[in-house]
Structure 1
Amino acid sequence: MASPDQCGRGRGFNTNGSAEEANIQPPDLKKVLVLKKADWLRIADETNEVNKERERLREAAKQREELHLHSKEMVKKWSHTVLGQRKKKLEAKKVREQMEEEKRKQMDLEEANYREQKRKEAVKKAEMQLYYQTDRVKGLHSALLLTEVLKEREAQIELKQQTKSATKKVEKEILEKIKTREDEAMKQQEEKTLQKRHERRVFTEDLKNQIKENELTREQQELKEKQKDREEIQRLYELHQSQQRTAAERQVMHKRNIKKACMEHLEQRDHLRKIEAQKQKTEEEQRKLFLTAKQKMTKLRKEKDKEIIREAQDRREMILNKLVVTQQQQTLHEEQRTAKAAEELDARQALLHLEQQQKKAVMLKSITDHREIIRKEKEMRSKISEQKTLEETMSKMEADRIFAEMKQQEAKKKGEENEKLKQFIIAQMAEKQARDQHEMTEDRKYGEINAQLIAEEEKNFQEYSQQVIDAAAEKKKNVFPLNKAARRGIKAGDSSTFRGVQPTYLVQDETGTPMPRYVTCTTENIKKLHEAADIHEAKRRLGFTWS
């Protein structure tokens, strides 16, 4: 980067200052840099944003582009150039790809036609196989097989007759040769028989000797085995006896233990019974003592009561006697004292009566107050009870009203639901009747189409059977089974047709007989029961009798 001195300014020069300050401070000539003209022009161009090199390069590129375009225009039609050869190769490649595409399209078309032809052949083959699976064609093929069998049978019979007539002469020679061979064989057989008898006799004698030796050996072996068995039996018997003795001793010991346990149990039970009896006896004695003491106490109480009564009577009699004596003695001054006592008694009685009246008044007042309080409480309870009863009655009446309204709403809702159900059932029955009518129409149309298909199948079958019969007649076969199969046909069930196959309802047994189609009064009644012609009659029959 250039310094300020190199750019033509002194060190103390201020760019923000004025020209007078520059004149006052002149630059140092030793530090001033003198530029060349080219550098000065370059700096001036950069300052003026002029880029001659860029302009030159742009002009050169433009000239090259023009020369290139001119050259392309000149060599466009040259054939020996690289571009021309490339263009020819591209055009040839394009033509070749078009030809290959045409070939591929042609091959695809041929492949599609071939597949379509194969598909048609497969469909035709499948239809023929289905046609061959029908009952009538199977019957016709069975008849054709029968004709083949009959033809083969006739050929076999003819061959058998020819063979029989041709072999009659040969049979005599063969019989003579066979007889001669049989005679020689008989002689050889007799010789072999004699030889075998001799060999059998020798073998029998050897076998008898071997049997005798084997019997002796077996007898000795049996004796040894019997001795061993006898010893084993003796050992087992002794072992059994010892086991029985041991078992008997064990059983005796077991019985003794059981008896001992039983005796101990009985002794314990007797001891418990004695303890229980002693306890009961003690309780009985205590009860008796208690009863005796109670009776004594009762007797003493009665005697004491009698004594108290007697003492009271004696004291009363003594008092009466004393009173009589005292009364007799105090007769004179009794009147005064009696009068005084009577006055005191009257005063005392009056005071007592007044106190009693006051107490009675207080008591009556308290009773009255209590009764008033009770009455008020009773009235309050009665009012509360009446209020509760009234509220309960009102709530019951309100509940009854709500219940009645709910019942009325439920009845109304039920009536509306019944009406909706009625309309729904009527609509369903009408829809069912329309559907049944439509199904009957469809069945009728289906029957017509089925009849046409059956007629067409019958025509095809007759043509096919006639071809088979003609071919069999040309081969001089028996065509009676074929005529019978072509004339008979198989029709059972509802005679419906499904892609050339007529269903046959057969008996489920070894015969496989086709079942007939019956239409009786019972079937008609069942049909009437399940298919109603009149909607109103059906509603009455089902019980839908709403008003």
Structure 2
Amino acid sequence: MATAPVIQYGRRSGSSKKKHAVEEKKELQPPDLRNVTVLPKAEWLRIQGRLNHSNKYNESLNEASKQREAMHLQSKEVVKFWSNTIVGQRQKKLEAKKIREELEKEEKKQIDIEEAKYQEQMRKAAIEKAKILQYYETDRVKGFHSALLLTEVLKEREAQIELKQKKEETSKEVNTEIMTLMKRKEEAALELEQQKALQRKLDSQATAEKLKQQARENAMDREREMLEKKKEAEELQQLKELFLWEQDMQKKRKEDEKRNIMQTHMEHIANRDIIRAIEAQKQEMEEERRRLYAKAKQKMSKLRKDKEEEIYREVQVHREKIINKLTAQQEEKANNKEEIIAKAIAQQDAKLAQQHDEKEAKRMAMLDSIASHREAMRQEQEQKEKEDLQNAIELLNAKKEADRIFIEKQHLKAQKMKEDGRTLQDLYVNQMAEKRAKEQQIRKQQLDLETKNAELIAVEEIQFQQYAKKVIDTATEAKKNTYPLLKAARDGSGGGLGPIFGGVRPSYLVQDETGVQLPSYVGGESQDVKDLNETRDIQQSKKRLGFTW
């Protein structure tokens, strides 16, 4: 079998590019079957086995792991129901725990049911209690309880009155004994007071003796004080004389000091006059020097002034020379200026003439333009009038068309309003029918409500009368005053004084600014008069009045 040469790292040494290109062309050509080697099957399988050896090894490993897993599952299924294994014991414990939890759950359910029943009973009891409390909070029951409280108060008052009477009876018997005892106490107190008065008298006598003794002692003390004061006065007199002598000595010393001071002052005044004379002499010398200095200064200023006048005169002469020279130059310039002015005037006249010609040409051009503008404006005005006329005709036609359309719209609008009116009328009729039906329904509901309310009032009245009867019977057995209870337990709810109407006893008020309730005059006599005047049987009334037909 011929093999192609192997080339590594580029072209083979000793070969050229052309030769390499020829070899590439040969390789691209189809193989020659005469040069192809055919392998036997065994050799081919051997080569394939060597190449696929790693894949078979992996497959065998996977197969072995699957077999082990199947055996493990089979062993688990076998030992699953064994009781002497760790897993079996754990399973048994779990089952026992599950059964125990189910039993506990059933017990808790039973406890919850019992608790729910107990809570239901408590709720019912609370509701009943709330109903009773709510019933007690009604106005009628509160009024009845107030009457019951009044009954208790009246009973207590009667007991207190009875107790007071008993106390008064017992106090009458005790008063005599108390009076006797009080007399004895007064006699003993009077005797004790007499003894105290005697003792006070003796005490006052002893006190008087003591006061006399104290007065004598005070007189002796005053005499001693007078002697002491006299001695003190003599000593003070001596001290006063000594003080006056010292004052005289001080006055003498002060007079001597004053004389010395005066002498010193006079000497000072004499010295001051001498000093003033010396200072005056010095001032005169200073004044003389100032006068000499002023004279010298005046002389210097006069010399300076003369010098300035001389300089001024020289300056004036020089200035006059300059002015004369400038005047000559100005005259020469004036002659030249006249010539220049003449030339300028001629140029100005020529310029003005040229400007006048230009203005005239502009004016003529302006007049021509104004005439052409007027003609254009006239033509434009005529064209505008024609257009306005055409627009007016078109506007008139448009107005006629708009009027026609408006009339048609108004006609359609009237038809629509008529149809809307019919629809609205039907709607009103339906609404009125619905309103009437609704009012009838509301009236029916009100009647039903009033009926139910009357039934409830009747039931409440029965309950109240039963409750009031029990309380009144209990109060009667306790021998209490039952009049307030009987008054509060009258038929009909409400605290009014009027007749019963619909199970309610209303209140009738006076029609004035007071607004108080009308009193009730229902009594035996008024009831007899009512029975006498009220007509129950017309035949009986006829007989009573004497009518025979």
TM-score range with shorter-chain normalisation? 0.3 to 0.5
Structure index of larger Rg: 2
